[in-house]
A and B are shown apart, each in its own frame.
Chain A
Amino acid sequence: MKGTVTVDEPRCKGCALCIPVCPKGLLRLADARFNARGVHPVELIDPSSECTGCQLCATMCPEAAIAVYRAVRVRA
Chain B
Amino acid sequence: MTVVAPEHAMTPVYEFPDSLTSVPTHYCPGCTHGIAHRLIAEVIDELAAKERTIGVASVGCSVFACRYFDVDFGQAPHGRAPAMATGIKRVAPEALVFTYQGDGDLASIGAAEILHAAVRGENITVFFINNAIYGMTGGQMAPTTLVGQKTASSPAGRSLVGQGAPLRVSELLAQVDGAAFVVRRSLHDVVQIRRAKKAIRRAFEVQEQGLGFSMVELLSSCPTNWGLKPDAALDFIRDEMVPAFPLGDFKVPEAETAGAAGAGTADSSAAGADAAGSAVAGRARRG
The interface on chain A, measured as residues whose beta carbon lies within 8 A of the other chain's beta carbons, has a size of 34
Interface 1/0 per residue, B19-43 and A, CB below 8 Å: 0100011010111111100100100
A17 contacts which of B6, B11, B30, B38 (Cβ < 8 Å)?
Answer: B30
Q: Report the Cα distance A47→B257, complex, angstroms.
A: 50
**Minimum C-beta distance from B225 to chain A (A):** 16
Q: Report the Cα distance A73→B29, complex, angstroms.
A: 38
Q: Report the Cα distance A54→B94, complex, angstroms.
A: 36
Q: Report the Cα distance A60→B34, complex, angstroms.
A: 10
Instruction: Please state if A17 and B231 are interface contacts (CB–CB under 8 Å).
Output: yes
| Chain A binding surface SS class | loop
**B194 interfacial by beta-carbon distance below 8 Å:** yes
The interface on chain B, measured as residues whose beta carbon lies within 8 A of the other chain's beta carbons, has a size of 33
**B263 interfacial by beta-carbon distance below 8 Å:** no
Instruction: Please state if B38 and A64 are interface contacts (CB–CB under 8 Å).
Output: yes
Q: Which residues of A, 27-76, contact B by the 8 Å Cβ criterion?
A: 39, 49, 53, 55-56, 58-64, 66-74
Interface 1/0 per residue, A1-31 and B, CB below 8 Å: 1011000101101111100110000000000
Instruction: Please state if A69 and B230 are interface contacts (CB–CB under 8 Å).
Output: no
Which residues of the partner chain A approach B230 to less than 8 Å between Cβ atoms? 15-17
Instruction: Please state if A67 and B234 are interface contacts (CB–CB under 8 Å).
Output: no
Q: Report the Cα distance A64→B32, complex, angstroms.
A: 11
**B3 interfacial by beta-carbon distance below 8 Å:** yes
Instruction: Please state if B15 and A67 are interface contacts (CB–CB under 8 Å).
Output: yes
A–B pairs, 12, beta carbons within 8 Å: A1-B3, A15-B230, A39-B29, A61-B35, A62-B35, A63-B24, A64-B20, A64-B41, A67-B14, A69-B13, A71-B9, A74-B9
Besides A1-B3, A64-B17, A64-B38, 17 more A-B contacts (Cβ < 8 Å) are A1-B6, A3-B10, A3-B13, A15-B30, A15-B230, A59-B193, A60-B189, A60-B190, A60-B193, A61-B38, A63-B34, A67-B14, A69-B10, A69-B11, A70-B11, A71-B10, A72-B10
